[in-house]
Every structure is written in C-alpha cells, then in structure tokens.
Amino acid sequence: MRPDRLHHAPRHRRAAPRRAREAGHRAAQPRQLRHQPLEDARKGERQGAFRRLAGRRRPEGLGDDVDGTVAEMQPAAVGQAADLRPVHGAAVRGACPNGRRPLAAAVKLRETTVIRRIALFALLLLLPAVAVHGEDVAGVRLLDRFGLREDAASWLLLDLASGEERIAHRPESPRIPASTAKLATALAALDLLGPDTRLATELLATGPVEEGILRGDLVLRGGGDPLLDIADLLDLALALRDLGVTGIDGRFLLDDGLLPRFPRILASEPESAPYNAGVGALTVDFARVRLVPSPQPASVPPLYEAALAWTDDPVALPETARLSRDDRGRDAWSIPRDSRARALPVRDPGLHAARLFRQLAAGTGITLPEPERGRTPAGAEAVARVESAPLRRILRGMLFYSNNQVAETLGMLASLRLAPDPPATLEESAARILDHLRDRLPAVDWSDARLVNHSGLGADARLTARQLVALLREGAARYRLPAMMPASGWAGTLRRRLEERDTALRIWAKTGTIDYASAIAGYLLPEDGRMQVFAILLDDPTARAIYDRRPEKTTGELAVAESWNARARAFQDALLDRWLEARPVSP
C-alpha cells in the first residue's frame, strides 16, 4: 500500500481494516423489511433522478420542436427498518463519538492495516497460476469469511482488450442473474433499435377543426416511450388547445396496440408491488400511483381502474395492500390504516394514461368523452407529438436505477424486430432476445441460459458469469456501455457501495438483487489503465424455493433473507476491493 493512501485518508476511515469494516458496516445497516424483492426495496426506482438522466423533446404541436427536461419527482419515503447486526464481529464506525477512535488506537489499527495489505499482496503474488488455471483459492477463502458456500458463487475477471482470463471460479455455472439480466436487454435494444432512436407518443385526428370542434375522432397513440410522464400528457393537451380545439364530435380512441399488454410482469410476485405493474405501449410514470394519506384514501394521479379503502384487518407486513372486488364488481384496494405502502401498481397502463389525459385536457378547456380502446383509423393525421430522449439515454437510466417497466417495454420493442407477430408472453419475448444473442455471440456457450422476462424479475432465469462478461465486452466494443453504468460511490445502485478513496469511480457496474440471489457485473478501471471486465454471481436456489412456497413471509423470514443478501453484497465489495488493490497478472 502506498503511504499517501494512509496519510491522506480521514482518520476515522482507517480506524479498522477496510474490508472488515465494509463487511460489518454494510451488514449492520438498518434496512426496510419488505415483502417485495430487495431490488426495489433497497434501491427503489428513483423516478426523478431517472428522468434527470434522460432528457426528452417537448411536443411538436404546430411544427415547433422545443427541447426541455422533465421536472424531478421525489422518490417515495421509506419507513423504519429493522436492525441487522454486523457479521463476524467486524468493526463498524460509530463505536466512538463521530465515528472516530482515540489517536493511539487509530495508529495501531493503521499499522495493522498496512501489515495485512502487505500480506495480502504477497499472497496474491504466490497464487496467480492457481487463480488463472484452477480455483481462485483466495476468493474461496473469502467466501468462508462471509459465511457463504463455495458452490453458491461464480465469478470471472477478464482483460477487456485482450479477453485474457485473470481470475475465475465456476464461471460456467448457471445462476440467478436478477437485474443483471437487464444487460442482455440493453445490448439487444441497442442492436435492434439503435442508440439514437426516439420513441414518440402522438395525438392524431380524423377530421378538421370547425368552430372549436374536431369533426372526427381523436386518437392518443403510444409508441413505447417508457419515460412518458404526466407533463408530457399536459404538453399534448396544450398543443391540442393551440389548434383551437375545445371538444370533439367523434370518439376519443386509445391506441396502444404496438405492443401486447400484460397486467403484471410476474404473476408470482406480490400483487401490490409497484415494481410489478402493467406493461404496454402507452405507460405514464412507470405505471404506478402515489398514495396520499387522508381520511379517505387517495392517490396521485387518481387510480381510475380501482377504488381505494382503508381497512382495520391485520396484515403480516406493513406494506401489504390487498386487491379484491367491491359490491359493484369493481376492483378495490384494501389498505391497512397503519400501512407504510407509498405506491400502488397500475394494471392497465394504457387506459390509465388515456383517462389521465382526458382529465388534463379538461383543465385546459377541452372536453373529451370517455376513452375507448381501438386501432388508429385509416387517414388519421398527427396533430401533436412528444418524443423520448435517445435510446442510449433511456438505457443509461434503466441501468442506473434498474427500472423493470423500462426494461420490459424496451425488450418487447426489440423483440418485435425479430418476428412479425407480437409475443404471447414476456417469456416468449425474452426467448427471442436470447436467440438474437446466440446469433450475435456464437462463440459463447448459451446452452444453459434462460430468460423469463426482460428485467430479471423472479428466480427462474439463469445466466453464467462467462455469458455476462461476453455481453459486457461486446457492449463496450460497440456502444461504449461502461458510460451507461452507475459508478461506485457516486450514482444509481452503486451510490453507497465501494465509496472508499481507492474504489470510488473505479467500478462501473450493473447490480442485481432478489431474495437469496445477488449479482454485480461491469468494468474495473485500475490505476494502470488496463480496463477489466467482470461478473460476480451468488445464489441459493434451494433456500429461495423454500422461501417462495410461503406467499406471505414473516418478518423473521425476511430478516434471514436480507442477512444472506447483505453478506453476499459485502463479499462482492471485498472481492472487487482486492482485485483493484492487487490486480492479478498473468503467470
């Protein structure tokens, strides 16, 4: 270790060996215990920050084309979390006031840190042949330190330029990829749609405007823009008003037939989970609504498709809401009065968007009838449109914040380029993408690969570390994929991971987490300038299968799953730290 690393670092940062502190500190972080997978529970899907990454074009009402950005929406707050204790007795900041230790103790611990790092460096120098041609002995020993089984993990580290294998452990073992499956979606979308593609949402009319009345039908047509938001719908309404329209004498049609519609991504996931909302060609604000606490439950925007009601019935988990039918046969959400639920999913995103547009249009002085679903009539002409940001920017947001709705929409759009007929299921759509990747990268063994959707939601998908690394190498060579990833210690799902001076901004990667599965895959930027590409996957399919047999988990079961995931993440960070600290060299 270089002396300047020790002396320039804040004293409390060196109060304990870094890897031990990372393991204990991260495992000890209080976390929200949720009924949904940790992918959303821990990270959320930060809508406002997402849109700040992906600017969009404003409507072209009367031939205008005004660039702008979408206003930020704050993510939902989280409730109080349960306390998880440090693993293996690792040191954690906070033992002394302000996280600092007495000077003598700090100096002693710094000396211990230097000795341990020298020993680690010497060990790695002695093991290169083992790491390259056999088992990664040092990495396997690290697994044991975090209480993880050797057969539960796979990893692979390659030189990005040459493809030379540096370190490997079971790189051919198929594992649950969780949201790292979005890397397959991203590469296929770039291949099949193009990085500069923009997706349009349009208003079309079948007749002229006479004395403020549109003599014909008005059509709201979705083009698969996954970042369409409420402000865009208002822009379309204002563009229509600028044409002098105050009403129509025909139908108000909703055309979202470009893509098949699915009421949820995965039926086995909790019905009230916002990350498991409906998918289609016309979706506004990720097909979710924000709950507003009030004497009578309400949401913003209104949830037109279902009624909301408080309930005093006890529930196993505080975020639970139950969907049922009311006396009139209408869908109704029953929300516990003490619920910490902050959002609900929309099951029919196209109809929801059309009804919301109707409400906004009324506020601008335009009266529209209730929307009807139908195809755009022949001869209809566009009168206004909004365009998305370029696809590359949309994908950057998807990879930063792991948004499921964005991944499913773009994956379906890409799969339509491979076959003329719409896929009957998301799994069929994902299978088309996998076939494309097999043709795209024929040197890779895809025999054990399986994708059941485009977002990685669920425990049935399988990818290997070698397959993920192949996707990353291809993405870097053709599309500068590293720049679409979140950076360690800075942004997205890596904002609070690997934030030390020696690791911050040196890892650009996609994470993936569901209960009993954790993955990270991306790029290392070491000091010598030779970029590396890596994938690390851990899972416990047996524990996950037992876990899935219980539709409603207890707080204790959730705590056990979270503890496993916390240890898996801590192991990943420690392994990446070692790779950066003493980058393996060829024998």
SS3 381: strand
Strands 247-248 and 213-214 turn out to be: parallel
Sequence-ordered alpha helix ranges (H) in 127-211: 128-133, 137-145, 182-193
Q: In angstroms, rounded to a whole number, what is the distance separating the alpha carbons of residues 511 and 515?
A: 13
Q: In angstroms, rounded to a whole number, what is the distance separating the alpha carbons of residues 445 and 406?
A: 28
pLDDT of residue 95: 33
Q: In angstroms, rounded to a whole number, what is the distance separating the alpha carbons of residues 106 and 101?
A: 6
pLDDT of residue 325: 72
SS3 545: helix
Which residue intervals of the chain bear CATH 3.40.710.10?
Answer: 3-57+67-194+391-581
pLDDT of residue 362: 98
pLDDT of residue 315: 56
pLDDT of residue 296: 81
Q: In angstroms, rounded to a whole number, what is the distance separating the alpha carbons of residues 504 and 28?
A: 21
**Cα 28 to Cα 142, 287, 400, distances in angstroms:** 19, 34, 25
Contact criterion met (CB below 8 Å) for 323 and 306:
yes
Which residues sit opposite 31 in a β-bridge? 82
pLDDT of residue 312: 74
Domain 3-57+67-194+391-581 falls under CATH 3.40.710.10: yes
Residues 456-472: pLDDT tens digits? 999 999 999 999 999 99
Specify the residue for token string 């609900």: 344
Which residue intervals of the chain bear CATH 3.50.80.20?
Answer: 200-387
pLDDT band at 19 (very low <50, low <70, confident <90, very high): very low
Q: Is the pLDDT higher at 45 or at 154?
A: 154
pLDDT band at 400 (very low <50, low <70, confident <90, very high): very high
Residue 490 scores a pLDDT above 50: yes
Q: What is the pTM of this model?
A: 0.79
pLDDT of residue 70: 29
Q: Running DSSP on this structure, what letter comes out for residue 85?
A: P
pLDDT of residue 50: 58
Strands 252-255 and 372-373 turn out to be: parallel
Q: In angstroms, rounded to a whole number, what is the distance separating the alpha carbons of residues 469 and 488?
A: 18
Q: In angstroms, rounded to a whole number, what is the distance separating the alpha carbons of residues 93 and 101?
A: 9
pLDDT of residue 73: 31
What's the CATH fold of domain 200-387?
D-tyrosyl-trna(Tyr) Deacylase; Chain: A; (3.50.80)
Q: In angstroms, rounded to a whole number, what is the distance separating the alpha carbons of residues 568 and 115?
A: 26
Average pLDDT for the chain: 81
Q: In angstroms, rounded to a whole number, what is the distance separating the alpha carbons of residues 278 and 283?
A: 8
Q: Which two tokens stand for residue 374?
A: 């139908």
Q: Running DSSP on this structure, what letter comes out for residue 582?
A: T
Residues 131-178: pLDDT tens digits? 444 468 889 999 999 999 999 999 999 999 999 999 999 999 999 999
Q: In angstroms, rounded to a whole number, what is the distance separating the alpha carbons of residues 227 and 199?
A: 10
pLDDT of residue 281: 98
Contact criterion met (CB below 8 Å) for 562 and 29:
no
pLDDT of residue 390: 98
Residue 117 scores a pLDDT above 70: no
Specify the residue for token string 């204990």: 24
Residues 257-285: pLDDT tens digits? 999 999 999 998 888 889 999 999 999 99
Residue 214 scores a pLDDT above 90: yes
Q: Which two tokens stand for residue 438?
A: 């097999």
pLDDT band at 7 (very low <50, low <70, confident <90, very high): very low
